[in-house]
Copies of this chain bind each other. A is one copy, B any other.
Amino acid sequence: MSYVLTEEQEFLKSSAKDLLKEAPVALVRELRDNQNELGYSSDLWNAMVEMGWPTTALSEDLGGLDFGLKGLNILMEECGRTLSNSPLFSSLLAGLVIQKYGGQSHKEVLTKAVSEGATIAIAIQEGQHYQPKNNGTSVIGGAMSGSKTMVADAHVADHFLVSYNTDNGVEVVLIDAKSQGVSISKEFYMDSRFYSTVTFDQVAVDEKEVLSAGKGKSVVSYITNCASILISSELIGLMTEAFERTIAYLKERRQFDKVIGSFQGLQHRAADLYGEIEVAKSIVLKAVDALDENDIMAPALCSMAMAKTSKVAKTATNEGVQMYGGIGMTDDEEIGFFLKRARVAASLFGGYTYHLNRFAKMSGY
């Protein structure tokens, strides 16, 4: 296991930084204020596709760059720093799942999608919270009905990976977004992104399109693990950027004839937060590596990584707003964008208590 980047990984990181210079936080504001229908810049997304980002973790036989999850960790961390939005998250997640559990037909859809920048969205959640075991979607006589919530990138998806319930447990199937009976209701969230409620009304299901039939539980668990890696990596970037901005502000803002960063009360909190971010980084890197290596501890580590980063991202953004003071409360300042994205990211595919509980169960208590 390695915590230190190789030269290739360093190169990936710096090229990611370069591209994302085009997508600063100001772009998020612009898209929001212009009520952009996509919620992201299609130029940016096209550039990502051109650079092969959606294929970063895929093996060479799938036309990928073979960086493994480590590569995604690098990309998502950089996306987190600029709060950059695009269908990248769904693309990466679908790629990981299909690479591991997909059949030939799924892989064909995947390779076409990643080369063209088409999106495969993941539709697992139902209701208010991510609880993949409580599945109300079912297939009767070859027709699927049910409703999925909080589906990221659904409004631009060509396909969906959808979970449904059978007598023998959960299954996951690839559905064409243009199928009869699929309807999408796009909703605008706190983080200035769109998530959708996707309703399946008697949608025809082709059994060949089921991923690793009979192993649906593993598929869903793998989705949870991979999503944890992607989101916790993004949160590391987010919290690091928010923290660095806060420290910079502490060095600049003067009150009582002193730079406020000279006050010990703030210094101790900043130092403590520094440490929390340090340990959060480590658990994420460990989880990335474990999942890359199929370590038996990987699922527990993924949940720890997700729980820890949710918690620290909240602290970091709260402290950011607090230390910016009044100016931090204004929409003119960007720190609030970090606060808002942190809350939504930390609830997708299971929030703090979901993952803490999952980790405790896996640890046998």
A interface, CB within 8 angstroms of B: 263-265, 267-268
Contact = CB atoms under 8 A, between A and B. Distances in A.
A268 B263 CA distance: 11
- Report the 6 A-B pairs with minimum CB-CB distance, sorted nearest first: A264-B265, A264-B264, A265-B268, A263-B264, A265-B265, A265-B267
6 contacts: A263-B264, A264-B264, A264-B265, A265-B265, A265-B267, A265-B268
Nearest to A268: B265
A267 B265 CA distance: 8
A267 B264 CA distance: 10
Contacts of A265: 264-265, 267-268
A263 B264 CA distance: 7
Q: How many copies does the complex hold?
A: 2
Nearest to A271: B265
Nearest to A267: B265
A30 to B, nearest CB: 39
Residue of A263, A265, A267 ringed by the most chain B CB atoms within 10 A: A265
Contacts of A263: 264
A343 to B, nearest CB: 23
A48 to B, nearest CB: 45
Nearest to A266: B264
A265 B263 CA distance: 8
Contacts of A268: 265
A257 to B, nearest CB: 15
Nearest to A263: B264
A299 B264 CA distance: 42
A139 to B, nearest CB: 35
A19 to B, nearest CB: 42
A322 B265 CA distance: 17
A63 to B, nearest CB: 52
A332 B265 CA distance: 31
A121 B206 CA distance: 73
A63 B168 CA distance: 71
Contacts of A264: 263-265
A265 B265 CA distance: 4
